[in-house]
Amino acid sequence: MNMVKALAGGALALGVVAGCGPKGPVLHVYTWSDYIDPEIVAEFEKANGCTVAIDTFDSNESMFAKLQAGSTGYDVITPSSYQIPLMAKNGMIRKLDKSKLPNVAKNFDKSYYAAILDKSMDYNVPYAVTYTGFAYRKDKIGNAPIDSWRVFETGAMKGRMALLADMRETIGGALKCLGYSLNTENPAEIDAAVELILKWKRNIAKFDNEQYKTAVASAEWFVGHGYSSDSVQIMEDSENVGFVLPKEGFSIACDELVVSSKAPQPELAHRFINFLYDAEIAKRNMEYVMAPMPVAPALAALDSEIKDKVVVPPETLKRGEVLRDFDEKPEIREFYVKAWDRIKAGDAK
């Protein structure tokens, strides 16, 4: 995160503590880190006489586990699309009142339907699309195959690489490397992915969802498996940092705005989602987050330099695959969970 964002984030944190407090309502947002422009948050607070309190998670699974364990008090949450059916099934989120979301009806870019699972958008409003690849140090990787998942087999960079601590993303990467779907339901293919990741594990520093952003920037690590939005943010600060989508294939995830079934401020939550779909607000937010947001007039207004960094060309997108959940097949989800447990434990089958 660059210095401007660090200072802005600090100002936001102070705003949460010293905001309007008892003078106005508090909107609680549960989202990924560095995922909304603090200046936009401040504008929403001023316009609505409220305070926005932001809490963060680093994976869909950790977010879901926290909610399942009984954490309440959140209003707006930003799970990835594949997590939403499970959240709805468990009564964690409520159906949206679309009459209170006129900006969504007016500005949603329908070309992004392909990235979301529930196209009815009864529970969900698409927020941002991310692609998973590798942030890397151009000056450190030498002849390593940086455009391939096989880069994690490079012994010369042992201890200088990291994989995401994310069950679906990392198992999905190994599946794509082997030529399989990252949504496979075949236990033999998942077992093969586990074996491959255990080989990669010998060369990585750790499984991580956050540290790669600073570790690659500082050259502590040379390769970090991570999200396009985070990686482009790093690239803005260092000409030595690059980002690549692996040739074997990669995941596409749409993070979406949902309202908790136990939201203390459901009206304010709808107002917040509608605010984020204002064309000018969405344009500025994209320039901060560095990820495409399906707000048609905002995308059209983006400077070409930024658009080239955040919008993936159609030919490249053909190598991508949208993550989906196994809501109707819990036995498949359980197989992935057990596979991930084996990876963390370092155990082959």
> Do 98 and 198 share a structural domain?
no
| 327 and 298 part of one domain | no
Claim to verify: residue 224 and residue 111 sit in the same structural domain: no
Q: Residue 87 has which token pair? A: 């959240």
Q: What is the arithmetic mean of pLDDT over 250-275?
A: 97
Q: Are residues 10 and 123 in the same domain?
A: yes
What pLDDT, on a 0 to 100 scale, did the predictor assign at position 102? 98
Share of the chain above pLDDT 70, in %: 93
Residue 215 and residue 153 share a domain: yes
Sign, CA dihedral 12-93-70-324, equals negative
pLDDT score at 109: 96
SS3 of residue 135 by DSSP:
strand
Which pLDDT does position 54 carry in this prediction?
A: 98
What digits encode the pLDDT tens for the residues 84-142?
999 999 999 999 999 999 999 999 999 999 899 889 999 999 999 999 999 999 999 99
36 and 99: one domain?
yes
In this structure, is the dihedral angle defined by the CA atoms of residues 52, 57, 60 and 61, taken in order, positive or negative?
Answer: negative
- Which tens digits make up the pLDDT trace of 31-88? 999 999 999 999 999 999 999 999 999 999 999 999 999 999 999 999 999 999 999 9
Answer whether residue 244 shows pLDDT above 80: yes
* Rounded-to-10 torsion of CA 203, 208, 211, 217: 50
Question: Who's near 23: CB < 8 A, 6+ residues apart?
Answer: 49
- 301 has pLDDT over 80: yes
Residues 77/31, Cβ–Cβ less than 8 Å? yes
CATH for 79: 3.40.190.10
- The whole-chain average pLDDT of the chain stands at 92
Token look-up 């992935």 returns: 336
Confidence at residue 135, expressed as pLDDT on a 0 to 100 scale: 97
Q: Which domain holds residue 297?
A: 3-129+254-314
pLDDT band at 237; cut points 50, 70, 90: confident
Residue 344 has a pLDDT of: 95
The tally of domains found in the chain comes to: 2
Position with higher pLDDT, 297 vs 7: 297
**246 lies in the same domain as 332:** yes
Please tell me the total number of residues recorded for the chain in this structure. Answer: 349
- Do 241 and 304 reside in the same domain of the chain? no
Give the residue among 345, 264, 234, 257 at the shortest CA–CA distance from 224.
234
User: Token pair of 231, please?
Assistant: 């990686």
Residues 9 and 38 in one domain: yes
Distance in angstroms between the alpha carbons of the first and the last residue of the chain: 40
Instruction: Break the chain down into helix, strand, coil percent, rounded to 5.
Output: 50, 15, 35
Give yes or no: residues 170 and 106 share one domain: no
pLDDT above 90: percentage of residues in the chain = 87
Do residues 181 and 248 lie in contact, with contact meaning Cβ atoms separated by under 8 Å?
no
pLDDT tens track for 310-322: 999 999 999 999 9
Kindly tell me the burial class for residue 300, based on how many C-beta atoms sit within 10 Å of its own C-beta (0-12, 13-18, 19 or more): exposed
Residue-wise pLDDT tens digits, 204-216: 999 999 999 999 9
Same-domain pairing of 222 and 168: yes
d(CA 14, CA 16): 5
Whether residue 234 sits in one domain with residue 93 = no
**Helices and strands, counts by H and E, the chain:** 15, 10
